[in-house]
Amino acid sequence: MTEILLIRTGQTQQERLNWLVYSPQEQEIIASGELSSAGNLNELSEKAANREVVVLLPSDQVQLKTVTLPTKWNRKLEQALPYMLEEDIACDVDDLYIAIGEATMVGEQHAIQVAMTDREWFEQWLALFVEHELPVYKILPDALLLPSVGEGEASAIELNQQWLFKQGAWHISAVELSWLSGYLTALGNPEVKHFSPAEDFPEGTNLQAQTSQYDLPLALFAKQLNNVKFNLRQGVYQLKKKSALWWGYWKGAAIFTAVALGSTLVIKAIELQQLNSQVDIVKNQVVERYQAAFPGSKVHPNLIKNQIKGALDRIEGSDESGFLELTTNLVDVFSQVNEFTPETLRYDKRRNELRIRARAKDFQTFGKVKTILEKQGLTVEQGSLNNDGDFVVGEIKLRGAA
């Protein structure tokens, strides 16, 4: 599974930032630390390579609200939502960025969960991450990643001189130490399950220490990521699908792969020239494949064989040949198994090993993929498989000759 770089921002770009690199597969912290301000984000650019970047915003900058609706949630209601919120906010609705959560029910009435934050503030942080080449695919308010608890309970953890609270699935708060007594009273004095030492709570608070789960706040949050499907990056702020992450890392190699796959099909087509009835079809395939592999290139039909041979010679002499050989073996998998979707590729050149993190419809699909690859003479190692909603996610390692 892909490692995660978790970054927790401050209210302003001058405040310190917390960061942590976490491995979901090993369930361990790889590295952690702080930045004195957002101006030092460039220090995390290298750590973001080949990792999923998740940003946490301070919960006091993001308001969660459940809005009751006159009917079931639909596109027309989405367009009217800002005007439905006008009476509940103290600023111009146009200054807010409103993100949509899950449709739900309040008693017998339809409702929708929303998250609101200052649009300009949110865009400034997005621009800063782009400036420092940090491809953030998910953004959440930090306290939303606290573990869920039962009715009449609240979970809490201390972070940067504040206590973060979560009560229910869509109720979070960030509370200064001096406000604890009044806040807990307003909340109805719930039982507080705390995930860090709670020495500052007022006397009489019903505290339940979760000592066995004490951890760095960002580590606790990282463990809860799979339990929270919400993402502030949506609509005009949505990042491309996660599959685009590995495309960025392997763009050059993937282009060579496309050339190899296309050229292989072309060469096989050329051999069919002996069948006179298919000459015209073969010529068309050659031109189409070559143009797909080399967009913008001028095609000389009479010299196409030499053009392809030259392209293959260049590929075989490059450092990407091991990667190409392994990825070429994936062609049969994609043609035979429809519901098997790769999310990330990681290639270890020294070991000539390709790690594929993928999503499939069930566990049997991974077994089918493993069987196909082994029949091709590859060494295949299947990692752990996990349910992710309606899908199964897991990792497969392919190893060629060292």
Determine the average pLDDT of the residues in 232-246: 73
Determine the average pLDDT of the residues in 273-282: 56
Determine the average pLDDT of the residues in 132-140: 95
Determine the average pLDDT of the residues in 3-19: 97
pLDDT at 260 over 80: no
If one compares 315 and 358, the residue with the highest pLDDT of the two is: 358
pLDDT at 306 over 90: no
pLDDT > 70 fraction of the chain, expressed in percent and rounded: 76
pLDDT tier, 361 (very low <50, low <70, confident <90, very high otherwise): confident
Q: How many CB atoms lie within 10 A of CB 258?
A: 15
pLDDT tier, 240 (very low <50, low <70, confident <90, very high otherwise): low
- The residues near 197 (Cβ < 8 Å, ≥ 6 apart) are 158, 209, 214
If one compares 23 and 91, the residue with the highest pLDDT of the two is: 23
pLDDT given at position 281? 62
Determine the average pLDDT of the residues in 392-396: 89
If one compares 130 and 278, the residue with the highest pLDDT of the two is: 130
- The residues near 136 (Cβ < 8 Å, ≥ 6 apart) are 7, 53, 54, 55, 126, 129, 233, 239
Q: Which of 123-132, 240-249, 356-365, 383-392 shows the lowest mean pLDDT across its residues?
A: 240-249
* CA dist list (Å): 80 to 65, 71, 74, 83, 380: 16, 13, 10, 6, 53
pLDDT given at position 248? 46
CB under 8 A, 24+ apart: contacts of 316-319 = 318/256, 319/349
pLDDT given at position 385? 84
The mean predicted confidence, pLDDT, of the chain is 84
pLDDT tier, 375 (very low <50, low <70, confident <90, very high otherwise): confident
Determine the average pLDDT of the residues in 171-194: 95
pLDDT given at position 288? 64
Q: Which of 9-23, 109-123, 219-233, 284-298 shows the lowest mean pLDDT across its residues?
A: 284-298
User: 394: which 2 tokens?
Assistant: 């897991």
pLDDT at 359 over 70: yes
CB-count exposure of residue 252 (10 Å: 0-12, 13-18, 19+): exposed
Determine the average pLDDT of the residues in 281-300: 60
Most trustworthy range by pLDDT among 129-138, 243-252, 287-296, 332-341:
129-138
pLDDT at 148 over 90: yes
Q: Which of 21, 116, 30 is nearest to 67 (CA)?
A: 116
Tell me how far apart the alpha carbons of residues 76 and 301 are, in angstroms, rounded to a whole number: 55
pLDDT at 54 over 50: yes
pLDDT at 129 over 90: yes
pLDDT given at position 185? 94
pLDDT tier, 358 (very low <50, low <70, confident <90, very high otherwise): confident
pLDDT at 263 over 90: no
If one compares 69 and 258, the residue with the highest pLDDT of the two is: 69
pLDDT given at position 91? 85
pLDDT tier, 264 (very low <50, low <70, confident <90, very high otherwise): low
